Structure 1
């Protein structure tokens, strides 16, 4: 267990497990079969899985100890509640595969812009500490004053250089706030903080709606009542917010609130309550929840792609403007000196 599994490796492992389980293999038989083909560095993990399963450890806890992705682990936790292991293995594999594909896509899109940013930080440093002082010394030796435009350009470089080197400080402060303050707050307060961030709250609402609708769909399909579904949510510990949320929903049900009213909350997509009401009317709530969860997942992926597509041209535009400023900062002082001669 010394080598962390990448998302791609986790996806392949769970996908192969799903294929073998669908062919009639038991879980331990499937893991034993896959261990025969595993790389040497992974065989210890396969042996660990088999030993823990023999001790009666739930499969989701085994994967949690192997540091598998939290989403995949929660899928398997709910699979143990509704009994459809093959379906949950398939969903987990697809989710991890999508996450890996999105990571690769975004990495490829951002690789060149990030390289340009570091190059431009170096250029700004050279302009501020080498080129600008040289021109200023020439101005002084020729008893000239920089033109207003040159003064603005030099000041802009000082500002850009300070801003570029402030990013690591801001990143450090954000990390300190996350580990020292945010993580120590109760889940409900964490959610309220996320919902107060304009650009983040839409992502949070979609993820919350996707996650709860998908898991409720599987539990309802297995024949559990609304109350039993929420009790299952309350028992899971990987997403503490949903554990507290389920407890709140149970109390509201006891007070007489309708099931669809439970989702009329600011941290859910407004469509979720409508889907819940519609599914209850036609008696196919599990189907409506599942279909809605897949559409919501597509919306999340589209938002991620749109954000990445916006960031890349924004970086290119910023770099282009900085290059133009560098060019002007070198050319304009030369023209001014020529005019003074």
Structure 2
């Protein structure tokens, strides 16, 4: 007790503070999301996400090189196809936008890990993550038929050179279906990063601008989780582990750090946290208005995800964070 115990002793010098730091954020913790679009020389800034762009494949390759040079180990690719239909053809076609982007990046930067988002909402004309009943206007996705689409999509992405498959549609049994598809296709060594606990969150708004994936009607609450549910997240991760997931993701991150912590405690698998578009947009908006110190807030936020238990952090701040960490400031 005071005066014998004085915790401030270990805070007295910057070097000492670093020596006893319990949680250290590293560039190797980061994954950078990229949005691929058709065309050439295209770089269109997302209105609600300053500093984030829809990029043609040549520009994606340029970004991938920069990301690798910054020491960031991985990107995750999302695609916006030229055409959309009810069969999500652009998701699983061998010449789909994500497939082409994955191949181009692996040819240009072979040591960069390419994760691919394995979902259908960007590719369906109605904006939902799978097949719907004819005439359905509620957004209730048909689970089992959608699994076949996801299996086809994952296999085509693996053929294109993807290093990690990341299914995000929250269909029941999607990890099992994708694992079977990959194994049958000869891709036994491709890991699955499952969006195991993905909530029906209001924080996704800007992403839907970036990925052009807003539902045309209804919402995604019949397949994404209720924000109030904690035990359900643990049930979902147990199922995904049993089905063959190699890594687990919690999405969003900022309002779900209790879930990140509990998933970490309940599993011996690597845990990823997705620092989603709305979280990014709030920080950028406040920074652009001069209300916060962007660098300090970003690094504090990312560190908090790691403190909560995240091994990997998907974030649109990744490039800036890597530069700040390298500068030691």
Q: Normalising by structure 2, report the TM-score.
A: 0.26
**Higher Cα radius of gyration:** 1
Point out the structure with the larger strand share: 2
Point out the structure with the larger helix share: 1
